[in-house]
Amino acid sequence: MTSSGKKNSILPVLCTALLLSFTLMAPSCEIKINEVEDNSGYNFNYQGRAGVVISWDDSSVDDWYKARDLFKKYNVRCTFFVTNFCLLSEDEISKLRELQKDGHEIACHGFSHKDAVLYYVENGMDRYVLDEIKPAIDSMRAKGFSPSSFAYPFGSRNSETDEALLKYFRVLRGIVSGNKGNLYCWGRTRILLATAIDDSYHVPLDSIYSTMETASESKEVAVFYGHRIEEGTGTSPGNYATTYGRLEAILKKASQLKLEFFTASELDVRNEASAYSRNVKP
């Protein structure tokens, strides 16, 4: 559903050399953590915390950075899922570091925004990981970031991609159409499903409010995603953007409901993930 893969026609030319260099020089970045099959490995100090995840996809770093004051106004901590990291300028990377200092999470959205399911069906899972996942992680690590969560480009995923990528990330995020199925229940899964908040998706604010109210009542976490943040209507076809007015309305409602703002990786509540989680009291 995102637009970066369509817009960056020069990406294959500019990134091929980087892809080859990361493949040849980088050690395995696989996280050696076994999936927990029962509840014994979970830290239930987090259970019962109603909250919301606000996440942003692609590489609109300047837009995200300009929204810092709005995020600070509501004590929001977002998750920024970055793709095409090799194309970012040093200024954009510096802005990501500042956002990270503010408490936001800088996460992974693939090396070149490829559809995970289509790519692995055509080329094999090993090739997908080698071309799209390892270089993405390594390019971010080279600039001082340690991505621990991943959002699927276009929301394209299945059980096979989940199984493969949970070896590299603590949390995976897909998407769901409309405004149903985007509530996360603590300790049940490391797969998140998010509803779009961009104006161009035409999800009514009342529907988003209703989901957050349900999260508040059921002590779950509502998960949302957007792309750019800008002034204007944001409703033209292909304009993946959330307007400031719409975003502030959502943040204000979440604050009124006393929902906690979580980053994506904080929803991995296994004891092993404590280093990635906030030290909050139950």
Quick check: 264 pLDDT over 50? yes
In the chain, pLDDT over 90 holds for what percent of residues?
69
Mean pLDDT for 223-244 is: 83
Mean pLDDT for 98-119 is: 97
pTM of structure: 0.82
Q: 130 pairs with which residues across the strands?
A: none
Model pLDDT, residue 186: 87
Model pLDDT, residue 90: 98
Model confidence at 269, pLDDT cuts 50, 70, 90, reads confident
CB atoms within 10 A of CB 16: 11
Q: Do residues 226 and 208 make contact, with C-beta atoms less than 8 angstroms apart?
A: no
Question: Considering the domain boundaries, does residue 6 fall inside one?
Answer: no
Model pLDDT, residue 220: 94
Quick check: 215 pLDDT over 60? yes
Quick check: 35 pLDDT over 90? no
CA 57 to CA 7: how far, in whole Å? 14
Model confidence at 236, pLDDT cuts 50, 70, 90, reads low
126-140, 192-206, 227-241: least confident range = 227-241
**Segment 38-63, tens digit of pLDDT:** 333 444 455 679 999 999 999 999 99
Q: Do residues 162 and 133 make contact, with C-beta atoms less than 8 angstroms apart?
A: no
Model pLDDT, residue 31: 34
Model pLDDT, residue 270: 74
Model pLDDT, residue 103: 98
Q: How many folded domains does the chain comprise?
A: 1
Question: Considering the domain boundaries, does residue 120 fall inside one?
Answer: yes
**Segment 151-190, tens digit of pLDDT:** 999 999 999 999 999 999 999 999 998 767 789 998 788 9
Q: Which domain holds residue 234?
A: 42-266
Question: Considering the domain boundaries, does residue 130 fall inside one?
Answer: yes
The encoded tokens of residue 130 equal 């080698």
Question: Considering the domain boundaries, does residue 260 fall inside one?
Answer: yes
What CATH number is attached to the domain comprising 148?
3.20.20.370
Q: Do residues 138 and 107 make contact, with C-beta atoms less than 8 angstroms apart?
A: no
Question: Considering the domain boundaries, does residue 17 fall inside one?
Answer: no
Question: Considering the domain boundaries, does residue 228 fall inside one?
Answer: yes
Model pLDDT, residue 148: 97
Identify which has the larger pLDDT, 270 or 220: 220
Mean pLDDT of the chain: 83
Mean pLDDT for 104-114 is: 97
Model pLDDT, residue 24: 42
Question: Considering the domain boundaries, does residue 7 fall inside one?
Answer: no
DSSP 216-269: HHHT-EEEEEE-EEESS---STT--EEEHHHHHHHHHHHHHTT-EE--GGGG--
DSSP 133: I
Check the CA dihedral 143-83-137-66 and report its sign: positive
Question: Considering the domain boundaries, does residue 201 fall inside one?
Answer: yes
